[in-house]
Amino acid sequence: MQMIDAHCHFWNPARGDYGWLMSGPDSLDPLGRVFAPDDLAALNGRARVVAVQAADSVAETEYLLDLAAQNQHIAGVVGWVDLASDGAAQDIARLAQNPTLGGLRPMLQDIADSRWILTAPKDGAIAAMIAHGLRFDALVQTRHLAPLAEFAARWPDLPIVIDHCAKPVMGGALANEWLDGMVALADQPQVMCKLSGLLTELSSGHPDPLAALRPVVDLVLNLFGPDRVMWGSDWPVLTLAASYQEWADMTAALLAGLSAADRAAIMGRTAAAFYGLGGKDA
Protein backbone atom coordinates (compact mmCIF):
# COMPACT_ATOMS: atom_id res chain seq x y z
CA MET A 1 0.00 0.00 0.00
CA GLN A 2 1.43 3.37 -1.05
CA MET A 3 0.52 6.01 1.53
CA ILE A 4 -0.32 9.57 0.55
CA ASP A 5 -0.76 12.19 3.23
CA ALA A 6 -3.50 14.27 1.62
CA HIS A 7 -3.25 17.22 4.01
CA CYS A 8 -0.14 18.78 5.49
CA HIS A 9 1.39 22.24 5.73
CA PHE A 10 4.82 23.81 5.38
CA TRP A 11 5.56 27.35 6.42
CA ASN A 12 8.17 29.92 7.34
CA PRO A 13 6.72 32.62 9.62
CA ALA A 14 9.38 35.06 8.44
CA ARG A 15 7.46 35.27 5.15
CA GLY A 16 4.94 37.38 7.07
CA ASP A 17 1.55 36.35 5.69
CA TYR A 18 0.35 33.84 8.31
CA GLY A 19 -1.91 36.23 10.16
CA TRP A 20 -3.85 33.53 12.04
CA LEU A 21 -0.58 32.15 13.39
CA MET A 22 1.23 35.31 14.32
CA SER A 23 -1.73 37.05 15.98
CA GLY A 24 -3.38 33.95 17.42
CA PRO A 25 -3.61 32.76 21.03
CA ASP A 26 -0.59 31.62 23.04
CA SER A 27 -1.60 28.01 22.41
CA LEU A 28 -0.32 28.43 18.84
CA ASP A 29 3.17 29.48 19.95
CA PRO A 30 4.69 26.02 19.32
CA LEU A 31 3.76 26.44 15.65
CA GLY A 32 5.57 29.75 15.28
CA ARG A 33 8.71 28.36 13.61
CA VAL A 34 9.77 26.94 10.27
CA PHE A 35 8.17 23.60 9.36
CA ALA A 36 9.93 22.26 6.29
CA PRO A 37 9.48 19.28 3.95
CA ASP A 38 12.50 17.47 5.39
CA ASP A 39 10.99 17.71 8.88
CA LEU A 40 7.92 15.77 7.77
CA ALA A 41 9.91 13.39 5.56
CA ALA A 42 11.83 12.29 8.66
CA LEU A 43 8.53 11.25 10.24
CA ASN A 44 6.79 9.51 7.33
CA GLY A 45 9.66 7.97 5.37
CA ARG A 46 9.30 10.47 2.52
CA ALA A 47 5.77 9.32 1.71
CA ARG A 48 4.05 11.46 -0.89
CA VAL A 49 2.11 14.43 0.48
CA VAL A 50 -0.28 17.16 -0.58
CA ALA A 51 0.85 20.53 0.75
CA VAL A 52 -2.12 22.74 1.61
CA GLN A 53 -2.14 26.54 1.86
CA ALA A 54 -2.01 28.17 5.28
CA ALA A 55 -2.04 31.84 4.21
CA ASP A 56 -4.52 33.80 2.14
CA SER A 57 -1.98 34.98 -0.42
CA VAL A 58 -0.91 33.99 -3.91
CA ALA A 59 2.67 34.48 -2.73
CA GLU A 60 2.32 31.54 -0.32
CA THR A 61 0.93 29.38 -3.13
CA GLU A 62 4.03 30.20 -5.17
CA TYR A 63 6.18 29.38 -2.13
CA LEU A 64 4.58 25.93 -1.86
CA LEU A 65 4.98 25.30 -5.58
CA ASP A 66 8.66 26.20 -5.26
CA LEU A 67 9.01 23.75 -2.37
CA ALA A 68 7.36 21.07 -4.48
CA ALA A 69 9.85 21.68 -7.29
CA GLN A 70 12.66 21.03 -4.82
CA ASN A 71 11.07 18.05 -3.02
CA GLN A 72 9.76 15.16 -5.09
CA HIS A 73 7.65 13.80 -2.23
CA ILE A 74 5.41 16.90 -2.41
CA ALA A 75 3.14 15.39 -5.04
CA GLY A 76 0.53 18.13 -5.08
CA VAL A 77 -0.24 21.63 -3.81
CA VAL A 78 -3.55 23.15 -2.77
CA GLY A 79 -3.14 26.88 -3.06
CA TRP A 80 -5.12 30.09 -2.61
CA VAL A 81 -6.57 32.69 -4.96
CA ASP A 82 -8.98 35.49 -4.06
CA LEU A 83 -12.00 33.94 -5.77
CA ALA A 84 -13.98 37.15 -5.26
CA SER A 85 -11.52 39.35 -7.17
CA ASP A 86 -11.97 40.52 -10.74
CA GLY A 87 -8.59 39.02 -11.61
CA ALA A 88 -9.25 35.60 -10.10
CA ALA A 89 -9.66 33.75 -13.39
CA GLN A 90 -6.39 35.18 -14.69
CA ASP A 91 -4.56 34.25 -11.47
CA ILE A 92 -5.94 30.72 -11.69
CA ALA A 93 -4.91 30.34 -15.31
CA ARG A 94 -1.37 31.47 -14.53
CA LEU A 95 -0.90 29.30 -11.45
CA ALA A 96 -2.45 26.28 -13.14
CA GLN A 97 0.35 26.25 -15.68
CA ASN A 98 2.27 24.44 -12.95
CA PRO A 99 0.92 20.85 -13.02
CA THR A 100 1.68 20.37 -9.32
CA LEU A 101 -1.16 22.74 -8.43
CA GLY A 102 -4.04 20.40 -7.69
CA GLY A 103 -6.60 22.68 -6.09
CA LEU A 104 -7.52 25.88 -4.30
CA ARG A 105 -8.78 26.55 -0.78
CA PRO A 106 -10.45 29.74 0.42
CA MET A 107 -10.17 30.02 4.20
CA LEU A 108 -13.92 29.79 4.74
CA GLN A 109 -13.69 29.08 8.47
CA ASP A 110 -12.18 32.55 8.99
CA ILE A 111 -14.96 34.34 7.07
CA ALA A 112 -17.83 35.52 9.27
CA ASP A 113 -20.45 35.18 6.54
CA SER A 114 -21.33 31.48 6.39
CA ARG A 115 -22.87 31.99 2.94
CA TRP A 116 -19.84 33.74 1.43
CA ILE A 117 -19.25 30.79 -0.87
CA LEU A 118 -22.63 31.41 -2.51
CA THR A 119 -22.34 35.17 -2.96
CA ALA A 120 -18.72 36.31 -3.21
CA PRO A 121 -16.73 34.13 -5.65
CA LYS A 122 -16.89 35.19 -9.29
CA ASP A 123 -18.54 32.67 -11.57
CA GLY A 124 -15.57 33.08 -13.89
CA ALA A 125 -13.20 32.03 -11.12
CA ILE A 126 -15.07 28.78 -10.44
CA ALA A 127 -15.40 28.13 -14.16
CA ALA A 128 -11.63 28.64 -14.47
CA MET A 129 -11.01 26.10 -11.72
CA ILE A 130 -13.09 23.56 -13.62
CA ALA A 131 -11.50 24.40 -16.96
CA HIS A 132 -8.01 23.92 -15.53
CA GLY A 133 -8.87 20.70 -13.70
CA LEU A 134 -8.50 22.10 -10.19
CA ARG A 135 -10.25 20.83 -7.06
CA PHE A 136 -11.88 22.77 -4.25
CA ASP A 137 -10.74 22.13 -0.66
CA ALA A 138 -13.49 23.20 1.71
CA LEU A 139 -12.10 24.43 5.04
CA VAL A 140 -15.45 24.54 6.78
CA GLN A 141 -17.28 24.20 10.05
CA THR A 142 -20.80 22.95 10.65
CA ARG A 143 -22.27 26.40 9.88
CA HIS A 144 -20.96 26.17 6.31
CA LEU A 145 -22.34 22.76 5.38
CA ALA A 146 -25.75 23.79 4.05
CA PRO A 147 -24.30 26.61 1.90
CA LEU A 148 -21.54 24.27 0.71
CA ALA A 149 -24.13 21.70 -0.38
CA GLU A 150 -25.92 24.42 -2.35
CA PHE A 151 -22.62 25.49 -3.89
CA ALA A 152 -21.79 21.89 -4.84
CA ALA A 153 -25.19 21.50 -6.52
CA ARG A 154 -24.59 24.71 -8.46
CA TRP A 155 -21.19 23.46 -9.70
CA PRO A 156 -21.53 19.68 -10.20
CA ASP A 157 -18.38 19.51 -12.34
CA LEU A 158 -16.15 20.92 -9.57
CA PRO A 159 -14.54 18.18 -7.42
CA ILE A 160 -14.82 19.14 -3.73
CA VAL A 161 -13.26 17.68 -0.61
CA ILE A 162 -14.40 18.53 2.92
CA ASP A 163 -11.35 19.19 5.10
CA HIS A 164 -11.22 17.77 8.62
CA CYS A 165 -14.72 16.23 8.37
CA ALA A 166 -16.03 19.81 8.77
CA LYS A 167 -14.72 19.96 12.34
CA PRO A 168 -17.63 18.39 14.25
CA VAL A 169 -18.01 18.80 17.99
CA MET A 170 -17.01 15.40 19.37
CA GLY A 171 -17.18 13.55 22.66
CA GLY A 172 -20.97 13.43 22.86
CA ALA A 173 -23.95 13.19 20.55
CA LEU A 174 -23.13 14.58 17.12
CA ALA A 175 -25.08 17.72 16.26
CA ASN A 176 -28.05 17.28 13.93
CA GLU A 177 -26.90 20.24 11.85
CA TRP A 178 -23.56 18.51 11.19
CA LEU A 179 -25.23 15.17 10.47
CA ASP A 180 -27.77 16.68 8.07
CA GLY A 181 -25.11 18.72 6.32
CA MET A 182 -22.81 15.76 5.79
CA VAL A 183 -25.69 13.65 4.46
CA ALA A 184 -26.59 16.37 1.94
CA LEU A 185 -22.99 16.63 0.75
CA ALA A 186 -22.49 12.87 0.54
CA ASP A 187 -25.48 12.74 -1.80
CA GLN A 188 -23.45 14.70 -4.37
CA PRO A 189 -20.99 12.34 -6.06
CA GLN A 190 -18.26 14.92 -6.70
CA VAL A 191 -17.86 15.60 -2.96
CA MET A 192 -15.30 13.72 -0.85
CA CYS A 193 -14.08 13.97 2.73
CA LYS A 194 -10.74 14.06 4.54
CA LEU A 195 -10.01 12.19 7.75
CA SER A 196 -7.74 14.91 9.08
CA GLY A 197 -7.57 17.55 11.77
CA LEU A 198 -9.83 15.68 14.17
CA LEU A 199 -7.49 15.31 17.14
CA THR A 200 -6.92 19.05 17.41
CA GLU A 201 -10.68 19.57 17.58
CA LEU A 202 -10.96 17.49 20.74
CA SER A 203 -10.72 19.24 24.08
CA SER A 204 -7.22 19.08 25.53
CA GLY A 205 -6.56 15.97 27.57
CA HIS A 206 -9.62 14.04 26.39
CA PRO A 207 -9.56 10.72 28.30
CA ASP A 208 -10.40 8.51 25.31
CA PRO A 209 -9.76 10.19 21.95
CA LEU A 210 -10.25 6.95 20.02
CA ALA A 211 -13.76 6.55 21.41
CA ALA A 212 -14.55 10.19 20.67
CA LEU A 213 -13.37 9.96 17.06
CA ARG A 214 -14.89 6.59 16.18
CA PRO A 215 -18.52 7.77 15.67
CA VAL A 216 -17.34 10.51 13.28
CA VAL A 217 -15.06 8.19 11.30
CA ASP A 218 -17.68 5.45 11.12
CA LEU A 219 -20.37 7.84 9.93
CA VAL A 220 -18.12 9.46 7.31
CA LEU A 221 -17.15 6.05 5.96
CA ASN A 222 -20.77 4.95 5.88
CA LEU A 223 -21.87 8.10 4.03
CA PHE A 224 -19.02 8.49 1.55
CA GLY A 225 -17.42 5.05 1.30
CA PRO A 226 -13.64 4.43 1.20
CA ASP A 227 -13.31 5.56 -2.43
CA ARG A 228 -14.46 9.05 -1.41
CA VAL A 229 -12.50 9.33 1.86
CA MET A 230 -8.81 10.23 2.14
CA TRP A 231 -6.42 10.43 5.07
CA GLY A 232 -4.39 13.46 6.06
CA SER A 233 -2.15 14.28 9.00
CA ASP A 234 -2.77 18.05 9.21
CA TRP A 235 0.87 18.24 10.30
CA PRO A 236 2.23 20.38 11.91
CA VAL A 237 -1.06 21.61 13.42
CA LEU A 238 -1.43 17.99 14.54
CA THR A 239 1.53 18.43 16.89
CA LEU A 240 -0.60 20.57 19.19
CA ALA A 241 -2.49 17.37 20.10
CA ALA A 242 -0.35 14.35 19.17
CA SER A 243 2.65 13.15 17.24
CA TYR A 244 2.53 12.04 13.62
CA GLN A 245 3.01 8.43 14.68
CA GLU A 246 0.27 8.63 17.31
CA TRP A 247 -2.23 9.83 14.70
CA ALA A 248 -1.08 7.15 12.26
CA ASP A 249 -1.51 4.47 14.93
CA MET A 250 -4.92 5.81 15.90
CA THR A 251 -6.00 5.81 12.27
CA ALA A 252 -4.90 2.18 11.94
CA ALA A 253 -7.07 1.30 14.93
CA LEU A 254 -10.06 3.22 13.54
CA LEU A 255 -9.79 1.47 10.16
CA ALA A 256 -8.87 -1.99 11.47
CA GLY A 257 -12.26 -3.47 10.60
CA LEU A 258 -12.01 -2.60 6.92
CA SER A 259 -10.62 -4.74 4.12
CA ALA A 260 -7.07 -4.20 2.91
CA ALA A 261 -8.43 -2.69 -0.31
CA ASP A 262 -10.59 -0.20 1.57
CA ARG A 263 -7.71 0.82 3.83
CA ALA A 264 -5.50 1.28 0.77
CA ALA A 265 -8.10 3.60 -0.75
CA ILE A 266 -8.34 5.80 2.33
CA MET A 267 -4.60 5.90 2.92
CA GLY A 268 -3.60 6.76 -0.62
CA ARG A 269 -5.61 5.66 -3.62
CA THR A 270 -8.51 8.09 -3.13
CA ALA A 271 -6.17 11.08 -2.80
CA ALA A 272 -4.17 10.00 -5.85
CA ALA A 273 -7.33 9.81 -7.96
CA PHE A 274 -8.86 13.02 -6.59
CA TYR A 275 -5.77 15.20 -6.99
CA GLY A 276 -4.44 13.42 -10.09
CA LEU A 277 -1.16 12.41 -8.47
CA GLY A 278 -0.29 9.47 -10.67
CA GLY A 279 2.59 11.12 -12.46
CA LYS A 280 4.88 12.19 -9.62
CA ASP A 281 6.72 9.56 -7.60
CA ALA A 282 8.55 10.02 -4.35
pLDDT tens-digit profile of 130-153?
A: 999 999 999 999 999 999 999 999
- Stretch 255-274: mean pLDDT: 97
Is pLDDT above 70 for 32?
yes
In terms of Cα–Cα distance, which of 195, 185, 120, 119 is closest to 158? 185
Instruction: Say how many C-beta atoms besides its own lie within 10 A of residue 55's C-beta.
Output: 22
| Per-residue pLDDT tens digits for 93-109 | 999 999 999 999 999 99
Predicted local confidence at residue 278, as pLDDT: 73
Least confident window among 75-89, 133-147, 266-280: 266-280
Residue 20 backbone zone (phi > 0: left; psi -120 to 50: alpha; other: beta): alpha
- Read off the pTM: 0.96
DSSP annotation of 35:
B
| Mean pLDDT for all residues in the chain | 95
Is pLDDT above 70 for 179?
yes
Question: What is the distance, to the nearest Å, from the Cα of residue 118 to the centroid of all Cα atoms in its chain?
Answer: 20
Predicted local confidence at residue 265, as pLDDT: 98
Confidence band of 203 (pLDDT split at 50, 70, 90): low
Q: Specify the 3-state DSSP secondary structure of 240.
A: helix
- Stretch 124-130: mean pLDDT: 98
- Stretch 227-238: mean pLDDT: 98
Walk me through the domains of the chain, giving residue ranges and CATH numbers: 4-275 (3.20.20.140)
Is pLDDT above 70 for 184?
yes
Predicted local confidence at residue 281, as pLDDT: 41
Predicted local confidence at residue 1, as pLDDT: 60
Burial 81-97 (b: 16+ CB within 10 A, else e): bbbeeeebbebbeebbe
| CB-neighbour burial class of residue 46 (10 A; exposed 0-12, middle 13-18, buried 19+) | middle
Confidence band of 117 (pLDDT split at 50, 70, 90): very high
Q: How far apart are the first and last CA of the chain?
A: 14
| Per-residue pLDDT tens digits for 2-12 | 899 999 999 99
Is pLDDT above 80 for 282?
no
User: Helices 88-95 and 123-131 meet at what angle, rounded to 10?
Assistant: 20
Is pLDDT above 60 for 279?
no
- The residue type at 107: M
Half-sphere exposure in the Cβ direction for 265 (13 Å, CA): 14
- Stretch 216-243: mean pLDDT: 97
